[in-house]
Amino acid sequence: MSEQPWDAALREFAAASRFREGGGIVTDLDGTAVHEHEGRVAIPHSVSHALTRLSGQGHPIVINTLRFPMSVIGTFGQEWYAITSAPLPLISLNGSMIGHLAESSTGAIVFEEVEARVLAPGEVEEVLTGVEGLIRSGVDRLLVFYYPRDWRLGERIWTPVAARMVHVRHKYLSASEVFWGDVDRLRSRLAECEVCMVFLLVEQPTDELMAYQHVKPSSFITSAGVDKQDGMRRLAARLGVDPAEWLGAGDTPMDTFLSDVGLAVHVGRFDLEFRGRWQTVKIRDSLELGVLLRELSALGETTAAE
């Protein structure tokens, strides 16, 4: 295979860091480690194969995603779990939830929470104040997505317009519940559970994106100071690892954890500001990520042979 533009940076990272002694991989999902084609998302074989090899070499694999746990499990949880065949660390909801994907006694993949950061009552009320302002301004195409700490409750969506219920249900099939009412009803529902994240969306007629594919950070509300970087730091502290010895991959400005890793891999079209501690490379898509990870695993095998 011909040399890739990122080959030298990859080799330098592997040689200069302590990645070979147990460094890991932390990756975003959508637009990074999974590939979308004709509305379907899947893990490219090259990515899953390379991650399986890296896991077998003793390198931990971590998912750091905006998706909520039920979405990860329902879409490709079994595939991801198969990569390690052991509890797989998951940072979910923009750093709000940390836990593991694990196999239950029935063989189903479940999420086991380690810790969570939830919105304080004052933070929830601040969101509702903003919602009330939008409603008063005549914005009726507003949707409020919220994600309870109890991952089994899934994704809940509120609309202020009863006539939009059918549209919202059909468009957001990932939702466990869609309901409507005034802001007081939304306030009452939010008070029924601990909430990890709220997502505000003003729909446009041509908007065909799912909630987790929007990339404007201000639309996603988590507890103060919580984001993907914070989630990775908390997980790293629990695991007793240094992210500077890890490879991280992401594709949007929300992938703030890329500033902490040793080798930051920017995937796709965005020019991201995050720089890795050792090296930073840019690649086209998840398919090329699979090639890069395969080369990284081959470097490890070469070292072992020596």
DSSP classification of residue 261: S
Q: Region 173-197: what's the mean pLDDT?
A: 97
pLDDT given at position 215 = 42
Class at the top of the CATH hierarchy for domain 7-116+226-305: alpha beta
Whether the CB-CB separation of 10 and 16 falls below 8 Å is answered with: no
Q: 20-51 pLDDT, tens per residue? A: 998 999 999 999 999 877 667 889 999 999 99
- Assigned token pair, 283: 């690649």
- Assigned token pair, 26: 């932390």
Q: 69-115 pLDDT, tens per residue? A: 999 999 888 899 999 989 999 999 999 999 999 999 999 999 999 99
Domain boundaries, the chain: 7-116+226-305, 121-221
Q: Residue 136: name the closest of 162, 160, 164, 156 by CA.
A: 160
Q: Region 116-133: what's the mean pLDDT?
A: 96
Whether the CB-CB separation of 199 and 145 falls below 8 Å is answered with: yes
Burial zone of 2 (CB within 10 Å; 0-12 exposed, 13-18 middle, 19+ buried)? exposed
pLDDT given at position 232 = 98
- Assigned token pair, 289: 């990520």
Whether the CB-CB separation of 281 and 6 falls below 8 Å is answered with: yes
Confidence category of residue 303, pLDDT binned at 50, 70, 90: low
CA dihedral 158, 164, 167, 171 (to 10 degrees): -30
